[in-house]
Chain A
Amino acid sequence: MDKPVAIELKNISKYFFGKVIANKNIDMTLYKGEILALLGENGSGKTTLMNMISGIYSPDEGHILVNGEEVSIRSPRDAFRYKIGMIHQHFKLVEVFTAAQNIVLGTKEGGRYSLKAINARVADISAKYGFEIDPQKKIYDMSVSEKQTVEIIKVLYRGADILILDEPTAVLTPQETEKLFDILRKMKEDGKSIIIITHKLNEVLAISDRVSILRKGEYVGTVITAETNTKELTEMMVGKKVDLKIDRPKTEYDRPLLEIRDLTINSDDGSKAIDNISFYIRGGEILGVAGIAGCGQKELCEAIAGLRKIVSGQIIHKGESLIGLSAKQISEKGVSMSFIPEDRLGMGLAPSFSITDNMMLKNYGDSRGIFVDRNAARARASALIEKLEIVTPSTETPVRRLSGGNVQKVLVGREIESGPNVIVTAYPVRGLDINSSYVIYDILNEEKVKGTGILFIGEDLDVMLALCDKIMVICHGKVMGIVHAEKTDKEELGLMMTGSLDLTEEKKEKRLGIAKDSNLTEEEWIEGAQKEADNG
């Protein structure tokens, strides 16, 4: 290949805190006018490497060549000078500013800024690549996909020719992803060079020209996308043969563990987040919850865990009502909840605490006397690290120093370690690489076989179809239907997610979401509802 080179990396190394190896002797080339996918597991150093090109970090060793000339990129400003722009995974936007203010931020054109001129240029860029954006809208009013659009326009506004996108599709719906890919293809036709980091192999195959693979901070190799397949890519990434099939073990357990009837929950702003839903989870089954982000998933999790007040309805665990119990009491009954928010650190773990300390958060009350039992917690932390292959220097490293996937393993691992009989888990594999995701699926299946009931709130429909026994689809807080994973497909789920298909109407007489062998008799349910109404 004798295409002109946009960026060449030679022998790049980067160490954190002097000893943790983030990148080691990386050689990589980005040609002009191509889309290069950068693939690697969590903690393999993809983001670190890209941060060095965009001036957030500086390499400890090695050379970066842009258009054939050796350059030193010490700050984002330097990167812009070489026409390099990065769209970070965690958006770097000022929430209280408008789109236009964010776009113009830091550009050096005169002391005052003219909104007219900015709007005109934003409109130009939007028309050229097909963006839809309102420059006067505040960031905090925007959806995730709109925020991403602002980020992309921001780097184009600065005249970037080389764009780096760090996991841009992690937070997008399939339709939004398709739209983004169209835009990226248009940019490519326009001669821009693009590096895209993603975990999703089907996306790599759909969008990229070539794929470069990193493993544990080292460069593995580059392949041409047209000449490779999912299996080869996975093996290069993981370093060993991986079975890509998700298991769905058959189980015998069948009593309903958690039964939810006519549940209504409000969101923070007082609107209905969950609207009159009924469902149940049996022991030894995984019930998936599918829905577009923000359809009440978070509120549902919080209500079950006792973190949020409900408006009406009943939550029955093994025949006993959970309503009015504290989060601690619910957790003691064996209902565990792990919610992985978009920023992954937001819930459940204390970022500055070590793994050991985070292990203790859940059950420090069990040890006798006034002192906490650190040794036992440390032993449990070590066991967890070994079992889940958590990459960490020690049990005493603050969890915020770990990479995203490893943080997640700590959280999910701790929840499961407490021996729950109902697991509510939301987005447990959010942003995780294949290997770590499979570790999590395996853990969930292991629990399922033990007879635990699992509520799995997920994003990836392919995974849910393979892993879950049943899938409940919600749209704007309403149940659109509960289907057997074996008897449905992506199209049907997609239609239900957008509200175009409502199975509850079609199968009214079947009373979806109500178990025939309920722990309570019909009279007891009515009595409970009556009591609930009296209290409210």
Chain B
Amino acid sequence: MIASLLIGAISLATVFLFGCVGEIITEKSGHLNLGIPGIMCVGTAGGCLGASVYMGALNGATPSYPILFLFSSLTTFTFSAAVGAIYAFLTVSLKCNQNITGLAITIFGTGLTQFMMDNVIDRSQLFAASSVLKQGLPFAENLGWFGNVFLSHGVLVYLAIAIAVAASLFLNKTKAGLNLRAIGENPAAADAVGINVTNYKFAAILTGSGIAGFGGYFYIIDYIGGSWENASTIEALGWMSIALVIFTLWRPALSIVGSILFAALYILAAKLPGFVSGITFTFTSVLKLFPYIITIIVLIITSIFGSKNVQPPQALGLPYFREER
């Protein structure tokens, strides 16, 4: 049971991890993007569109794993980054309120995705695409439980972990990462030393949105195997990704562990009644609340005892206007 829980958790964690790392990169530029749940939906639409178009064009021939992966990744990134660009234009260039803009983007994103999945995308192609992309490493089966738990996943799982590690290195070890963090902390300081604040903000928001979009796409194409219910499921997972950002204290490397924990709690809530008799609906509902409760506890702990090192970027949520006084 533990192995199957862990397999499920690592898989579901990928949804949170993409969303969380995308949001961390965005927040490091000082922008709280509450549009991430909507952007994860749009990423789903983009990816599913790419996958269904490719599968449809094959006309029954055998699909190529790399081409399917690369093509659908490209459409996922393009769609979600495009919506990110709307958010960036509104909040960076026009200095609109970030919270309001973000919520509007989420509403827009879920609606657009529902429309596309129902009317534009050939959903019948998604099951076949899913079975291709879900293939784990070929030698996984020979490695016993270790292979099953860690190596049997589709390529997107490893992509998410790679991006989280890369984001962590970028933020902590490179000059560009230092510049980006400086912008999120004190844009006036960054501006005064000649860093192009606007360019960095656009780059961070577009990249972050692009990455987050993969979370929704992964959920449909891998985690639930290509079926489709509605966009609000993905939106709900998107909100958990944002909570995860706070839980992991804005650290991409920590979010790998955090996302697995969140996913484990999520799955536990769903599966526990099947394993243990006498579990009430109330109990599982409370279990589902756990990710949010522990996020609040983390918030309380960091604000009471935390040093300045574990606080959100100081300029988070504030527009920057050079000539403002």
A residues apposed to B, CB below 8 Å:
16, 54, 56-57, 75-77, 79-80, 86, 88, 91-97, 101-102, 104-107, 109-113, 138, 140, 154, 158, 400-401
Contact = CB atoms under 8 A, between A and B. Distances in A.
B192 A76 contact: yes
B178 A77 contact: no
Given A91-B189, A102-B189, A106-B195, 9 more contacts: A56-B322, A57-B322, A75-B194, A88-B192, A92-B186, A92-B188, A92-B189, A95-B186, A106-B193
Contacts of B195: 105-106
B186 A93 contact: yes
Contacts of A102: 189
Contact of B308 (A56, A95, A107): A95
Given A56-B322, A401-B325, A76 B179 contact: no
A104 B176 CA distance: 11
Nearest to B313: A96
Nearest to B194: A77
Contact of A106 (B174, B181, B194, B322): B194
B122 interface: no
Interface string B273-312: 0000000000000000000000000000000000011010
Contacts of A97: 178, 181-182, 185
Contacts of B175: 104, 107, 109-113
Interface in B165-187: 173-176, 178-179, 181-182, 185-186
A96 B193 contact: no
B190 interface: yes
Contact of B194 (A80, A88, A140): A80
A111 B174 contact: yes
Contacts of B193: 76, 80, 92, 105-107, 154, 158
B178 A56 contact: no
B323 interface: yes
Contact of B185 (A88, A96, A104, A110): A96
A113 B308 contact: no
B323 A57 contact: yes
A415 to B, nearest CB: 24
14 contacts: A54-B192, A56-B191, A76-B194, A79-B194, A80-B194, A91-B189, A92-B188, A95-B314, A96-B314, A106-B179, A109-B175, A110-B175, A113-B175, A140-B308
Nearest to B184: A94
A112 B173 contact: yes
Given A400-B325, A401-B325, A94 B186 contact: yes
Q: Which are the 5 A-B pairs with shortest beta-carbon distances?
A: A77-B194, A106-B193, A92-B189, A92-B192, A94-B185
Nearest to B186: A94
A125 to B, nearest CB: 16
A51 to B, nearest CB: 9
A101 B195 CA distance: 14
A88 B192 CA distance: 9
A86 B182 CA distance: 18
A94 B323 contact: no
A113 B182 CA distance: 15
A297 B178 CA distance: 37
B106 to A, nearest CB: 27
Contacts of A138: 308
Nearest to B309: A96
Contacts of A158: 193
B191 A76 contact: yes
Contacts of B181: 94, 97
Interface string B221-257: 0000000000000000000000000000000000000
Contacts of B188: 92
B202 to A, nearest CB: 16
Nearest to B311: A96
A2 to B, nearest CB: 34
A111 B189 contact: no
